[in-house]
Amino acid sequence: MIEGVKVRPGLVVIAQEHRYQVEQVVDLEHVLARDLETGAIRRLRFNQFVPIPAWKTEEPMAPAEPAPQQVSEADWQRAQARFAVTNRAKTWFPSVRN
């Protein structure tokens, strides 16, 4: 086990070429862990596993939606037209919500 890692439920580890997720810390030497492929529960010693490192990317992730200031005028006009159509459809079909 690598020093400085907090072992707690939810931690994904590798032991004996299998991926496990820690379910419960039993004592100062053991955890109960679920095999992520088979679902079997095993008692593992701390020295039997290593945590899977978190993925780190070099570039920050792009936002899911562009900021309102980044929307072009043509895209804004198209969105306004679509909104007007759906808004009118709500008056035609009042039982339909969102």
29-49 pLDDT tens trace: 999 999 999 999 999 998 889
pTM score of the predicted model = 0.52
* Burial environment of residue 33 by CB neighbours within 10 A (0 to 12, 13 to 18, 19 or more): buried
Higher pLDDT, 8 or 57: 8
Q: Ramachandran region of residue 4, left (φ > 0), alpha (ψ -120 to 50) or beta?
A: left
pLDDT band, residue 86 (cuts 50/70/90):
confident
